Structure 1
Amino acid sequence: MQLSFSVPTALREFGLLLKRRYATWWRRQSPARQDRFATLGPLISVMLFLAAIIAAFWYLRNEENEREAEAVKRDTEIAQQQIRLRLIENQEQLVRIARELVTRSIDTQEFIAQTASFTRESPEITQITWVNARRERKASITASSFHPETDPISDKRDPSMPVADSGAPSEIAFTNAKERRQPIYSPPFTDASGANVFQIHVPLLDRSGFSGTLIAEYSVEALLRYYVPSEVSARHPVAVLDASDQVLTSTVTPMPGQVPRRPSILHEVPLAPAVNGLVLRGQGYRTSIGLISNTLFWMVLSLSGLTVWMLLGTWRHMRRRLQMQNALVSETNFRRAMENSMLTGMRAMDMDARITYVNPAFCAMTGFSENDLIGRRPPFPHWPRDRFEENARLLQQELQGRSPAGGIEVKVMRKDGSLFDARMYVSPLIDPKGAQSGWMTSMTNITEAKRVRDQLSASHERFTTVLEGLDAAVSVLSVQQGELLFANRSYRLWFGADPGGHALLAGSQMGETGGSKGDAGEAVDSLSGLPTQELTEVGSDPREVFIEALGMWFDVRARYLQWTDGRLAQMLIATDITARLRAEAVAAQQAEKAQVTSRLMTMGEMASSVAHELNQPLTAITNYCNGMVSRVKADTIRTEDLLVALEKTAKQAQRAGQIIHRIRAFVKRSEPQRQPSAATQIVEDAVELAGIELRRRNVAIHSYVAQRLPMLMVDPILIEQVVLNLLKNAAEAIDNANLPASRRHIELRVVPRHTPEEGGGIEFSVTDMGPGLPEEVISRLYEAFFSTKADGLGIGLSLCRSIIESHRGRIRAQNLYNGPAVVGCRFSFTIPVDIPRPEPAGAVNISATP
């Protein structure tokens, strides 16, 4: 009892709480929102009513469709039951006849008599055949003649007879009946007369086993015609389909030449008791009117739309009235807000110069309240004491309408006595009738703006002073008119006020060099049609320009900019680099001398090796000559032996000459010149020169040069000098460390390399098996006059680095490790070339042994 009373009480309390919440929410809404919600209520009701009507129509239509589908299903299943009952009855009769045949209760004549009677009572059966185990026809009766058929020749041509290994429907059923020992229905097929039929094979089983089958052939069309109730076929079409969904027969014959309309309701069931691929399909068509075609639906929809349109019209009318009210309120609020938030002071005076209105900004500027200002006549409280006469004169000028359009600048006094600069603009005050009723004055505080203007003027002066003090020439030229807009002191010192100097510095950017304004203007006029913003955002690379009249070199940087008056202009900054270029030329000469000196020092260090190398061919020549002289004096030499000795002497002399020529070409002083050079030739020349020193130090060398390398645009002598220096250093490191023969060899590799940072290039690397380099030495290897040798000058690797960097390459050194132990050192340098990620397909090996 307590629970039955507490639930209604809780619901009542919950309803009261919702009501209070709703009342509170409704009171918080503005009248405009309340009117809007009140208008939305009927609109929502109409939309809900329309939705309910549509849902009712949809529900009724679905109910009718379900009834129609149920009727099709019921009629199809009735037809299936009638046909199945007939097939089962016939199957029982056939099983009885088959049993009598097996037990030999009947002979052939009695079999024909029984089957003839049976086919007369069963119009759906077109043929009954007795077949033995060898598929031979023993007896057969057809429904058309009711006479037996015993012609063995026709068995081979009859599709109703099973044929071994033929795959025909009759053969399939015969085989299944033989294997399963039960009645089997065959798939549908076309008999000799072209009719769609299927068979039932009843196996004949005697004591010896399978002895044949009793075959009854059914007409699909007769089954449908005789055993589908007429009331079913009158209501719905019924058709029989095979496994490929092809219609074999139907209770409705389509009109020739017309495509039958696709049924909207289908129901399919198997035809035979055992599945043989035949399907009985019942068809139906929906007769109910669709929702869109229903006239009542459209009437309800139209009435609902009309109601909605009327409600929307009422809501729009109320909205327009509300908008007009809001516009009036907004206008008032806007004027009040504009007056209160405006930073410009507003003051209104009547025709007698009496103040009638001031806005809050005017009061905030002057520090006086509205009561202090409204109704006052000159002199006003915000006039400075020492400027009464000036302000009175300006007021009279204002009342007479002669105030300048740009405003007047005055001093205004605050209530605390401080002054500030202000600018006043005066305009007549017109009433609604078009007559002037006074004057409206707007006042802005320009103290900060005036201070900024003074600072800008001072900044401009400082900037001009800096530009005038630069050692570089700065000039700005108008692109369209060719007028020199600005030139600093250096420009005027070198070129005067002539814009031709700008054209000379601009070079190809400004067209042909010339001194007249017309020529310069014509040269750059082609840029006048380009977008200004695009030109001003793009700069140019620095260029070196030689002015023949001055005998000076300038580093020129140019860019386009928009001048103060909006014109497109070009600015140039030209720096005198004559002294720098001269210093660079002297440095280049010194570097060239250092290169020659380095080569001479290398040859000096290799002097003993070269002498030993030359001693061998010279000794051979001496021996050959002494031998020939002795044998000639003794008259014991033949002409053939003399020629052989002379040829050997010439080869030794040629060998000595090649050594001297190679050394002379290496140390010969010449101007550095870049030319297409093959890496293979450079390596061969360097290895041949280094071989003298390597053989003296008992160090072997193995060279690897990749095939099909591109040509290098280098000075071959300089690159050969670098390779020779690296090979000599490696041989010295190995020899000084007294390494065993297994580690006394150097590897020289030349392969293509491609990295994202450096791009494509050819890498020369020299790898030795020496003691390596300390970490502190690697960081100082390329310093001038730094050497790890006791008698070294420290210019070899520094010079090598300069040579490689002059060819836009890089040189690096690194130790080789086997765990924590150093097992060698590798020096490598790259020469950049334009190649895509090379893959070496082969190599040229150049090897030398001591």
Structure 2
Amino acid sequence: MKFSALFSLLLSPFKWLRKIRGFRLVYTPLLAIVLFTSVMGVILGTLHLQEKTQQESALFRELSFAKQRIQLRFANNLDALTTINREIAASEDQVKLKQIAYEQANDLVRNNHEIIKIISLNEKIQYLWTVPLSNAKADSSRKNPNDQLTNEGLASTVELSRVTSRAAFSQFISLNSLDDDPLANERKVVFWQVVPNFVGGEIVGYLAALYTAQGVLEVVPAELKAHYRFTLLADNEKVLAMSSDRGIPKRAFSNQTSLDIGVLSPNLTLRIDTYPPPTNLTFRMLIGVVIGLCAFVIWSLWSVLKQMQVRQEAEANLRTETSFRSAMENSTPIGIRAHDMQKRITYVNRAFCEMTGWSAKELVGLTPPFPFWPDARREELAEKMNRALKSEVISKTGIEGVILRRDGSQIQTRTFIAPLINEKGKQTGWVTSLIDISEPKKIREELAASQERFITVLEGLDAAVSVVDLETDALLFANRFYRENFGDDSKGHFKLAGDSNNLETLHDLAEDLQDSPPGIPTPFLYQESESEEIQLEDGNKWYEVRRRFIPWVDGHLAQLLIATDITMRKEADELSRQQEERMQFTSRLTTMGEMASSLAHELNQPLSAISNYCMGVAKRLDGHIDPALNKEILPALEKASEQAHRAATIIQRIRGFVKRSEPQRKSVSITEIINDAVGLVEIEAHRHRLSITSDLAENLPEINIDPVLILQVLVNLLKNALDSVREAYPLSSRWSAPPVKISADLDTSTFPAMLRIRVTDAGGGIPVAVIERMFEPFFSTKSDGMGMGLNICRSVIESHHGRLWASNIMDSEQTKLTGCTFTILLPLESPDSKARVE
């Protein structure tokens, strides 16, 4: 113990030296790099500062030069104006004087772009001449809005020059831009310079020169304006003119100075800006190289440190991983074994040994066939293993197989195979894992059998069974009946579910239940809805539907729906209802027939007696009264007897019709029947202040009909037309109501041609709902009507093998009903007569 402690004490200084050496090897280069970077940064910063100072000095020199050029130009212009004044004052010949002064002023304007014009004024401030000469006609034809501004500035400057007796400048004048002035942008800001002309100490006139601020910058040489931007500023930093509108970067250098262009001149500032920004490619390249080298060295050092750390961590992780894998392989119930490229077993875990009953020493080194393979299936298992080892695709479902335990029992397994790759990326073998699936396979087989029985029952049902996911609207299950009638999607399910608005409600319900805490009450989910009878829109099929909510196998809320086809039951119920209605109609018609027979029997004798009495009275009175009275009474009695006989005939015909006997046809003229019908109805029409007109075609042939029944049909139609007009027009305005029109002609649009009779009124027409049922028995729109008139009329016409229908009349705009027309088509020859002829 003492020796080992002494040895450790002797070795401790070497450990500290090794640590210090490692620290020096790692951090000394880093400190050197930091120191080098700092020194280079100071040097580069000093160079940059020096370069900036040099650029600012150069900028100040260029600004001073431009200032001197502008001041010199203004001094030269003042001297030129003074010289012109001196020439004007020294010359005695006014014509020659004016010519010389004008030429000198014109040369001054032409050679100096900053001067727009020069004006000569006398002592009374009256214009003598202007250079350049302006167009008098143009000036007189239009007014320049800028003239007033410039004149006001000129007047104030002349006054200032007169008071001070020296040259004076005006304030800056901002002119309005004119569309017809091409130099508007250059002459946007102008100012005046007025030079007084002294003779003998007295002012005898003035010379005024109009300057442009943009023209002042033209004095600066073009080579300077190519590298710098010059700007003229007023006292309030207002920009008067700018040598270029090209923008300058934020890092550009700038300087400015005041321009003293005269004693009585406004404060004018000249500013200079650099563009493009000052750069030094060499300096920046040097900075980039230094920074790049420093970054590369730091990155290299950092990479070495990281690699050392990664290596230490990898060694620690490898030890941890080895321990973890050993613990995991020993604790997992999955059997694991490894094979080399010759299929020899190189490793087995404890679970595999427990699964087979052999120890690891007994299994390692074995080659196929293995002792844990059953003898009867060794060839099959060897072929599966070879096929799986040769396959380049890893099977996700595995390979089902069998293992024979050492005690002789067998277990069902599923084997998964993966290639074993070394650190060089080369395959050195395979790793297989085995799972005992004996119990799950048994349970799965039982579930499959149960599922098959359940599906067989559902597929045999004559009802549609479907399950739909309420979150995705996907069809989860559908039996044979549903697939045959509604397809393979969920559209049929939601059609059977009822209103389409229920879909949104079901989605909301599913979302609420999904967000709610677990534990949905079972009674709510399995509560069955009442059965509903649903008729599909795209067919005449009826279904009795029952539905309920169920949790599906994945936990989502679903809806189960069972729909039974009840179309045949519905059709039977409808046939039963129709049969019952027919029986009711038959019963009522039978009752009406019995009543008609009874009325015919009871009314025949009174009508015969009335006819006999009328004829007897006529015979007794014949020749015994005044001939004048005889002409009035006898025709009336004869007509009364005739109408009584006619009434008896009508009753007999109706009685025969109710008994379904054939009409008593004879060849008659339809014109006489129509005239008789009009004559019978005209009395009632006149009583209601209405009229009836006839429009009968000429030479209408006689037709074989029952005149009494046809007359009764026409009378009924005319009365209905009068009732329609009477309802449409009040009593006070019936004098203007159109008459009821009855017409007869031949309809040649059919073959053979038929007799066409039309009764037209100008009433309110017939509603569409009424016109579809108006010929049904016992259907009436009148409060006191029995609903048999039009039905009997159609039956009479159809018994004559004709047709009867009604159609409304619309106004010209097709928006309002203006009447109705009843049309009768009768064959010119009856089918019975044709048969007899043949």
- Normalised by the size of structure 2, how large is the TM-score? 0.36
Query: Which structure has the larger Rg over C-alpha atoms?
Result: 2
